[in-house]
Each structure stands twice: as C-alpha cells, then as structure tokens.
A and B are shown apart, each in its own frame.
Chain A
Amino acid sequence: MAFILLSAPSVWAQDGFVLRGRVLDAGTGEPLAGASVSLKERPSVGSVSEPDGRYSMVAPPGSYTLLVRYIGYEEQELTLLLFRNETQDLRLKPVSYSTNEVEVIGTRLKPITQTAVMGELDIPMESVKTLPVLFGETDIMKTVQLLPGVQSGGEGNTGFYVRGGGADQNLVQLDQAVVYNPGHLFNFFSVFNSDAISNATLIKGNMPARYGGRLSSVLDVEMREGSPDSLQAEGGIGLIASRLSVQGPLVKDKAAFIFSARRTYVDVLFSPLLRNTEQGGVPYYFYDFNGKLSYTLSPKDRLYLSGYYGKDVGSLKLSSGKFVADFQWGNAAATARWNHRFSDGHQVDVSGILSDYAFNFDWDFGDITTTVETGVRDYSLRADFVYTPSVRHQLEYGLHYTHHTLRPRTGSAETAEGDVFSTDRILSKSAHQAALYLSDDWNVTDRLLLSLGLRGSYFVQMGPFTFYEFDDNQRATDSVVYAAGERVKDFMAFEPRVSVRYTLSASSSVKASYTRSAQYLHLVSNAYTTLPLDVWVPSSAIVEPQRATQYAAGYFQSFRQNMYEGSVELYYKTMENQLEYREGFVAGPSNRDLEYEFVQGSGESYGVELFLRKNYGDLQGWFGYTLSWTDRTFAGINQSRAFPARFDRRHDVSLVGTFKLNPRWTFGGSFVYGTGQATTMPERRYLIEGTVNYQYGDRNSFRMQPFHRLDLSATLDGKSYGRLQSSWTFAIYNVYGRRNPFLYYIDSEGPPYSTDTSVQAKKVSLIPFPLPSVTFNFKW
C-alpha cells in the first residue's frame, strides 16, 4: 500500500496511462509497420505502429475498445481496462490470399496530420511494387522521385534532388549504413532490391536530430526481417533481371533470416542488338545480395545482423583489342545492431556499421596498363536511445562516431618496361566524425507538440596530408606537410532542429519547423547525373563544410478518417559553402587533389508543395505539385552572378494511381510533368583552326523542352496452388513515346575553313519510345 501511495503522484500528475505494444503478423510474427491502433471511445487518441511494429498511446483511465486496422489483415477489436500502464501485443491475421479477398493494395502510412516531422513521407512498398517502371524493375528510388519537393535526376534515373539541394545532399541509409552510390548502371536502377526492403522513409529537410551529415534529405531504408515462423521463398523473373529471396526461422521463435539476391542479364539481352557494332555486345551486368539475421536474445534484447553487397561489372574491347578495359564498382554495407529495452519506456540501439564504396577501372592501351580507383570506407559506432519518461515527453539521444577513409580518384600506369607513373601527390584522406544529439517530442498540451532537437557535430581531417599552394601556372609553390595521425583541420557545428505541430482538429493540423544542418562529405558532379567515378571528398584544409538553414511551414488535413489526406508546405532554404567545379575545369588526369578545382558559393531555394493522397479503397494514389525556385552563386562562375541550379524546376507534377479492378487485376499508372531543365547553350560561334567553337550564354540560362511521361502497368494475380502464389506484371514505360530532352547541343559539320559548314541544334532523348516489359513474380 505504501508503494502505491508513493508511486501514485507521479502517475496522477499525468493525464492518463500509457498503452503500448507491438503489432505483429499472427502468421509470421513479422512486425507490421503503419498499422492503425485506436480507441473506439476516444477517436482523437490513436497511434500508428513504427517500423518495428511498436505503438503507444496515452488515454485517461477507463474501459476501452481497442481497434486495430491494417490493410490486408483482418480488423481486430479488443476490450481492455486501462487503469495502469499496459503492454499489449496485437497479432493480426492476414486476409487469406487463397480466397482472393484482398480488397485493396495497402499502403502503410502514418496520417500526415499526426507526424511530428515536417516533410516526412513513408514510401508505401506496395505502391513501389505495383507502379510501372522501366524494364519492370520496381524501385523505391523511382517512387521517391514522384513525391512533391523531389526532383528526379532525369530520364530513367534514380538520382534525386530535394528542395534545391545537390545530389550529394541526400543521406541514403540502408539499415543505418550510408550508401554512397545508390545506383546501378548509371543510376538507371537503385541498389535497393524491393524484395529485401520492409520500408523506406523520406524526410525532406526537417531531419530529426538523430540524422546528420547531409543537408537536404534522409532516405532511410530498412531491410526486412525474416519470418520467424515458416520457411518462405519469393522472387521474380523480369526482362533484364531476376530476383530470389528466401526467409525463415533459424531457431524457432528466436532467430530468423532473410537472404535476397538479384542479377541482371543485360549482357545476354543486348548482345543480339549490338552484334554488328564494334563492341559486339554489352559485357556488363550487376548483381546484389541482401541478408539479415534477427535473433531474440532475451525478452529485452534483440540482435540484428544485416548486410548488403552489390557490384556493377563490365568490360570493353575497342579497336581490335588495341584497347581493353575492365571496370567494376559497388557498395558493401554491414550492420550489427543490438536492441535493448531497459524498461517499457526506455530502450537503446547499439550498432557497429561498415560502409564501403569502391570504383575501379583498368585498361591496357599502347603497352601501358592504367588503373583508376576511387572509393569511401566508413567504420561507425553508434548508440541511439529512446526514452519516454512521461506521457508528455519522448526523448531521443545518442552518440555517433565514424571513421572515414576517402580514396580520391587516383591513377597509376605501368609501361611494358616496368616504369610506373601515378598520381602520387593524391593520397587517401582520413577523418573522424562524431555527433551527439538530444531531442524531445514534447506534448505541451493535447494540441501542441513541440519537437526540440540539438545535434552537435564534430569533424576532423587527419594526416597524412600535404596542403599545396599553387602559382598562376598551377605549379606547387609551397606545401605544408602533416604526418599520419596529425590533426589537419577540424570543424564543429551546432545543428538545432525545432518543429511545432498544433492540432486544429482531429483531422487537421499546422506545423512549422526550423532546421540547421552541416555536411562534411561532398560529391561534386559536372555531369547530368552522378557517375560511378565521382569522388566523395571530406571537409578539409581546402574545403569548408556545407551548411544549410531551412524554414518550413505547412497545413495538413485528412478527410474521411484518413481515407484522403492533403498538405500544403512552404519552405525557404539557404545553403552555404556549396560546391561547383571552377569555370573551365576539365575532368582529366591530374596529380593534385580534386578539391583544388572546386569553388564554394551559396545557394537558395524556396517553394510550395501540394500533396493530396488517397490511402484506401480500390483506387489509391496521390497527386503532388511543386512550385519552386533554386539558384546558386559562386565567385568566378557566371561572372559571379546568381544562376539557376541545373535542377531548378519551376513546376513539377506527379500523378500516381493504382486501381484494383477485381481480385485478380490491379492497374497502376504514373504521370510526371516538369519544367524544362536549365542548361547552358552557345549563343555565338567562332573558328579556331577553321573549325567551329562556341561562345556560351549565361550559365543555365536556357530551358529545354518540358519533361512529361506516362507509364502504365497491369498486375495479374495468378491462381494459387497450395502455398504457391504468383503474379504477372505488364508495364509500358513512356506510353505515348514522348521524346523528352536528355540534353541539347549544337553540332557543326563540314571541312575546316569551308563555307559548307552546317550548324544544327540537336536534342538527345533516352528511351524515346514506349518500352514494354513483363515480370513474373512468385511467392511460396
């Protein structure tokens, strides 16, 4: 009795008790993310399960009917008494596939009116899988591009730009490991095999304090956990690639695994088309593996081991073998994560992470063998705590540490006589990065949620390193040498993240946020897309960290119990120390660090984003529209005047839909429209040695034709035989054969000093025709 009296005040000071638990698949035991858990008697109280299936809510003491809804699963009602903090796991039975009663293709989404973070969007894996894509290869990154505020990197490309940020400003993580080059085949495909992914979240700028190191966005991708109950297999056979995943228990109810593999056969596929060309085929392919082990050590401890390994591999042979090249690049990632619960409201994740990217190109020409390499390797340790001291507060705090080794683009060549030439002045760079963060989601009142976060980050470049000074002729005149392990230069940043949500009604809210962020690793690309050989460079004695400040405000509304939801967001963002190559830079062999070719300047982006989504029903989908302005200013570029960024896009529209016609047929479609890309065009011409040369207009002052494209797909669910389910997906990319401009250029032809010279503007389009594809998927 005394115990109750003592503990009572701390309970009664709050306005209720906490109900928490996990939502699980009753069959496989897999956690279900995005399930809606609510109290029938108090519609305003509710929760949406987290990626690990956890949910929690607070309600005054009483007797309630708990309602659990999850698409594709049977609805569950449960009566419970809430007179103390309760833990209640909820196991949902899937709607049986064999009876074909699945009514909708589900999306697993938190209502946007309820999330604290602004500009956070979960990417529904089901729509990822039903939307039409190039060659039928489903891809999260391509769905990400269809969200408002996100611009695609171009035709077929998985690269993306968020709110005026550069391609290197997106933090792409797979199970906490940074993926430095998330593309295969020049970003036509991402490294994410949809079969291996459980969920993905995009955060456009108002990043919670636990994320850091990038200015513009976070794409947080989590691998699936294997089924703890039964052995299952699924896979697909597509036009250019095939996939297979196997999952199941290792130790019943204790340990589970999932393993996925994917390989392309472009090399086989395209060979007939290119038989008559000099190349004689495309000796090129890529593959990747995903694997994850989850192990329940005790009711309070879980261990996860996950890994990714993928590579693009190819070779080239030109001029009757005078030139022979082999190349490969790829990412590797491994994460070991231990999740421990101290108590119901307090848990920690401790992770050790390896992240690696490597590019390698070897060629033989003229009796000289040359090798070019670049890459990144990170070793990280982190501890992330979540603590819920009371119903009004949820604290997150943690510590991150990473050791970076960045191999710049280095080359070496060896002659037949054994002489070696190399970029010996360019050395790998080493750096430590550490961050501490603390954030609190504070429910000030029932209506007001204040999220306060602070991230303190520290970055130090370590020797060995030589800092050169160059004269006008680019000859090194002076140098400062730092020994191995010597501190070269360090940086520190305070990155406050603040957001406010005010709930206007059960179905509407307003939010505002302020975010400051710093970025210590940079990648500068002067191509239309990032390339496998682009180089990640650290902040250093040569390059300052990039920084950004973003202000955003928005209005969020859901209709008909979240059947529809919509939002309007405004943002304004300034960016410091943005990077570009200096004017006249030529990407050639060089024996000095690439950083000396950079100039740093500022950037600005602002705009408004509209989003309307239908979450349930036979017809689902969304409409996104972005109106935005993005520019950059650099000393010495474009006469130091501001110019539009390459991905400055005034209007950007996406319309995405899936329609379940009947239990067997589902149709999908997407339409995109974007203002023409900004580009630099020649305005005048002149002759050098009798041949046409160009005098260019202002940087990015010319607009190409607008970009638009319609893609359609149809998925036919096959009859099931026992446990075997199958489906066919038919898709057409670029249905009406739009010839979207990929690039413009001016071509001149004619002998030197001739009046027969012709000068002609040309448009290059990639995939300028409707491209059909078919994929067969199965599940057992």
Chain B
Amino acid sequence: MRLINILLLLLLFSLASCEENLTLDIPEGQEQLVVEGHIEQGAPPVVVLTRSLPVFEGFSPADTEAGFVHGAQVVVSSGGRSYTLEEIPAAAFWSELRRVVSEQYGIPEDQLTNGSGFIFYVYTSRELLGEVGKSYQLRISHEGRVLSASTTIPQLNPLDALFLQPHPDPDQDSLFTLFYRYRDPDTLGNSVRYFTKRNSEPFYPGYFASVFNDELINGVQALSYPLDRGEPRGQDPDLDTYSYFGKGDTVVVRWAALDLDHYRFWYTLENERNNNGSPIGSPNTTRSNIQGGMGVWGGYGVTYHQIIIE
C-alpha cells in the first residue's frame, strides 16, 4: 500500500508543484533520551544513548559529542541475571565489538578505531553474549529519568537461497537484481530485517524497506522476491542503479529475525522517512518500544548468506 501511495503521488506532483526553503520558528520541545540498542546471538549487547536536539541546532563535532549521554546506569537482565553495561568510546573498541557495531549501525570498521576522530560511544558488557530464544530487559537511569524496554532474539529464520536475474534492459547487462527464496515457518509473526554488503562496504539495511513480516505470507513454502541493495541513508539513491548489484560483486546478505515490537519500530520509522514531505500519510508514525524515551531496544537472530556475481 505504501507503494501505491508513492506512485499515486508521482501522478499528483506531475501536475505542477514547487518546493522552496523556508525559515520556521519552531518551539524547542522537550529533550528526550534516545536509545539505539541491539543484542544478537553470540555478541555482546550494544546500547547507544543520545539525547534529542532542537531540530535546527547543533551540527558541530562539539554538539555531536554533547549529544551522547555519559554516565548513565545501563543494565541488561536476562534469565534472572543482571549485567551492568560500561561506556566505551569508539577509540577503545576491541575488534569483535568493532565488527558488531559496524554491522549493526552501518559504520565502516576503520572509523571505529583510535585516531579516526569519529565520535561514538556505546554501552556494552564483556560478560553477556546474546542467545537465540532468550529475552533481554533493558533498564536505563540517568539524572532521574528511567527508561525501560524488553526484546528477544527470535529463533533463526534463514532464507533458502539467493539467486540473480539480469536487468530488464539488455543494454544494462552488467547489472543484476538479487532475489531471495524464503520458506516461512508456520507460526504467524515472523519478521526479518535485512542488510546487504557489497565487497568491502559495510552492511547497509534496505533503503526504502528493510523489514518484512509474514502477516500475508504466513507458512509460505517457497517465496521468491527481489531484494534491493542496501544503501546509506541521508542521500538520494541513484535511480538508474538503485536496487541492482553489479557484475563481479561479492554480496553478503545479513538476514536478521526480529520480534514484532522490534519489527514495528523499523517499519514505522521507514514509513515516516519515506513519507516525509509527502501529502499522503501523516508524519510522526515511529513507534518506539522504549518506555520513557525514544528509539529501540531490539534483538537480532542473524544468519549470513553469500552470492558472487560472475
């Protein structure tokens, strides 16, 4: 349905419209704490804690630094045990943490090293590694504010196979559409988020839609569907090459099972981003699973799938 909206919009705007910059006097609003935390099987929990900033202010490195919340008490508990997470700057990441953060947050690994000047802090634990099927409670307290959330690492739900189809235009014979084949477990509610990695690039989630849910395909035995190439956000994709992979690419798909709350966060967030500036769809749809704050605390049950385009 989102697709239809976007297409109908194309029509609407093909009439005549213009866009111009504007200076708006917008109230500052109330600062909120923002959680961006994940846990996946075999990896430590990672929690990034920031604060929301006035919409038009604070773009300097100093502002970025000030955006991180330091000294919060961050506790993850599971199965009756609690783990207090410690705050680690990017410069002090060890290699496994670097890999996990790079995959989960789409940051090139070389930026997460000492001397890159990249400002990034996470709360993590050396004692806790995620396990499939377990649930994890997050509790954060900072200057009188308490945030809480719960997530699970669902059972792994790997795809069956990856395959390729050539570009529909024969002149574009170096471009390929990646397809996946998927068998859905018979229980309703299976959700997946995917990321793709091309050669040495970081993993990027799908640009317009990175999450799927089986509400309409529950129990399907063999679904084949195109998988758009993931791209970094914040810039318009090149529509000529959008979604395609090229000849010679080594493609790795990171296929992560999510629970429904976690799925809903990405689904609503991507909807909000895709509809920003559109006359269709109301803004402000993002649904956080954090009580007392914003953002997400989400478990991933991750499998990897590779295909080389020859």
A→B interface (CB under 8 Å): 156, 186, 188, 270, 274, 278-279, 282, 284, 314, 316, 318-322, 325, 361, 363, 365-368, 372, 409, 411, 413, 415-417, 419, 421-423, 473-475, 526-529, 531-533, 581, 583-591, 680-697, 699, 702, 739, 742-755, 757-769, 771
Contacts and interface: CB of A to CB of B under 8 A. Distances in A.
Pick from A372, A583, A691, A751 the residue with the most CB of B within 10 Å.
Answer: A691
Interface string B53-91: 111100111001001000000000000000000000000
Contact of A415 (B11, B60, B223, B294): B223
Contacts of A681: 24, 26
Nearest to A748: B234
A768 to B, nearest CB: 5
B106 interface: yes
A751 B11 CA distance: 29
The 5 closest A-B pairs by CB, nearest first: A683-B29, A684-B52, A691-B233, A696-B284, A584-B287
A251 to B, nearest CB: 46
A157 to B, nearest CB: 10
B42 interface: no
Given A745-B277, A748-B234, A684 B55 contact: yes
A1 to B, nearest CB: 77
Given A749-B235, A757-B59, A680 B295 contact: no
B177 interface: yes
B14 A279 contact: yes
Contact of B20 (A188, A685, A763): A763
B16 A588 contact: no
Nearest to B118: A753
B55 A746 contact: yes
B20 A762 contact: yes
Interface in B239-286: 239, 243, 260-261, 267-269, 271-273, 276-286
13 contacts: A320-B167, A320-B172, A325-B7, A363-B3, A366-B179, A527-B280, A587-B5, A683-B55, A684-B29, A747-B276, A751-B232, A759-B56, A771-B16
A686 B22 CA distance: 21
B234 A473 contact: no
Give the secondary structure class of B's interface.
loop
B52 A685 contact: yes
Contacts of B239: 278, 319
B7 to A, nearest CB: 6
B285 A584 contact: yes
A762 to B, nearest CB: 5
Contacts of A322: 168, 177
B215 A367 contact: no
Given A759-B55, A761-B22, A186 B4 contact: no
A762 B34 contact: no
A702 B7 contact: no
Contacts of B16: 766-769, 771
Interface string B35-50: 0100000000000001
A320 B169 contact: yes
A688 B36 contact: yes
A40 to B, nearest CB: 54
A317 to B, nearest CB: 11
A419 to B, nearest CB: 7
Contacts of B120: 753
Contacts of B283: 680, 682, 694, 696, 745
B19 A763 contact: yes
Nearest to A321: B168
B205 interface: yes
